Amino acid sequence: MSTPAASGRVRAGTRAVRLASASWRLHPRAVAVTITGLVLLALLMALNMRIGDIQLSLADVLAAITGEGPTHFVVMELRLPRALTGALVGAALGLSGAITQAIARNPLASPDVLGVTTGASVTVVAVLVANGAMYGGASGALAGLGVPATALLGGLAGALIVYAFAWRRGLDGYRLVLVGIGVTAVFTNVKYWLLTVGDVEDAGKAMTWISGSLNGRGWEHVTPVALALAVLVPATLFGTRSLGALRFGDDTVTGLGVRMNLARALMLLAAVLLAAVATAAAGPIAFVALAAPQIALRLAGTSHPPLLVSAVAGAVLANAADLVARTLFAPVELPVGVVTAVLGAPYLVYLLIRVRREARS
């Protein structure tokens, strides 16, 4: 029985890192992609922070962050929070998407299927329309703190409904996706019905929100997403190993000693919370959660989307899309969700074709 001594002989592209009784497997390419992604993210955020009523150069932005003066306030209080919200929301969506795709065992799954985003949309539209009819326009409090809280509750409620219908003596990936698509369709139709019966002005406001926008996002949007990520990123990384096992068939998962339904439920809860918090902050930004894990997978060259790389890819994607949204028809700004939807649609078609081709071969 030969035992190759050199580490990495058995697994291409990985290095063993061992310290006393602790040991990890490091994927150098994934590390490189993560670092490159973070540099790219910083650059995109700086480019985004140039744009506004006062156009700044990149040097101005850097000077404003470190120095004093009027531009310091503009950059630190208005532009940085917007760019940060984009980065954090993108990261949360990327992470949520990676988890969802692993549990559904399907690269076409995203947290949209979990009922979070449509649940949030339909609730926000309902509240906006109902308030408009009753009080003649959404109040400032509702627009600021009210909408995120409403979206969070609506998103969690939507996920709970999907989960309740999908659970049958355990959780099955296929069943979850099918139930999710059904519930999402119902929510979407209720949403459109509400938009048609609502006041035109309220419907307009609601439409901006349900496209997903980073416009006017401040520190009050950054803080909740940052707190959620601070808790959920370590929690999900802790669960990476179980998630890796959950990609296999049910009998294999149990055979490996994983408490399957518990592990699935906990990871799904994390995915739901991440998507709900992201949607509460910026509205439902389409396709980031779907695309980020698949981009991360291809760049890192791993067998499945690595969680951390997916989060970084999501952050980069959201900021890049926001940059396009703000510069394409400048000075008119598009909601970021419109750009991600336009970019995402052909990508989804590509994925569908690829998956079908693989299924046939």
The nearest distance, CB 108 to other proteins, in angstroms, is: 12
Q: Confirm or reject binding of residue 1 to other proteins (CB under 8 A).
A: yes
Query: Of the candidates 53, 66, 68, 249, which one interacts with other proteins according to CB under 8 A?
Result: 249
Q: Does the protein bind other proteins through residue 241 (CB under 8 A)?
A: yes
The type of residue at 160 is L
CA gap 305, 328 in Å, rounded: 31
Amino acid at 168: R
Name which of 135 and 238 has its Cβ closer to other proteins. 238
Taking CB under 8 A as the rule, does residue 10 contact other proteins?
Answer: yes
Q: Does 55 bind other proteins (CB under 8 A)?
A: no
Assign residue 241 a region: left if phi > 0, alpha if psi is -120 to 50, beta otherwise? alpha
Contact 300, 306 (CB under 8 A): yes
Spatial separation of the C-alpha atoms in residues 8 and 251, rounded to whole Å: 29
- Does 357 bind other proteins (CB under 8 A)? Our answer is no
Q: Any contact of residue 16 with other proteins (CB under 8 A)? A: yes
SS3 237: helix
Closest to other proteins by CB, 25 vs 145, is 25
Smallest distance from other proteins to CB 13, Å: 9
Q: How far is the CB of 216 from other proteins (least distance, A)?
A: 40
Determine, following the binding rule CB under 8 A, whether residue 25 of this chain makes contact with other proteins.
yes
Measured in whole angstroms, the distance separating CA 132 from the mean position of its chain's CA atoms is 30
Residues 293-332 that bind other proteins (CB under 8 A): 303-304
CB 164, CB 183: distance < 8 Å: no
Helix, strand or coil, per DSSP, at residue 123: helix
Which ranges of the chain does DSSP label H, i.e. alpha helix? 28-50, 58-66, 70-73, 80-104, 116-135, 140-141, 147-166, 173-197, 200-211, 219-238, 240-246, 250-255, 260-282, 288-300, 307-327, 336-360
Provide, rounded to whole angstroms, the least separation between the CB of residue 268 and other proteins: 17
Closer to other proteins at the Cβ: 249 or 346?
249
Interaction residues for other proteins, span 77-116 (CB under 8 A): 105
Q: Which of residues 274-293 bind other proteins (CB under 8 A)?
A: none
Binding residues for other proteins (CB under 8 A):
1-4, 7, 9-12, 14, 16-18, 21-25, 105, 238, 241, 244-245, 247-252, 254-259, 303-304, 358
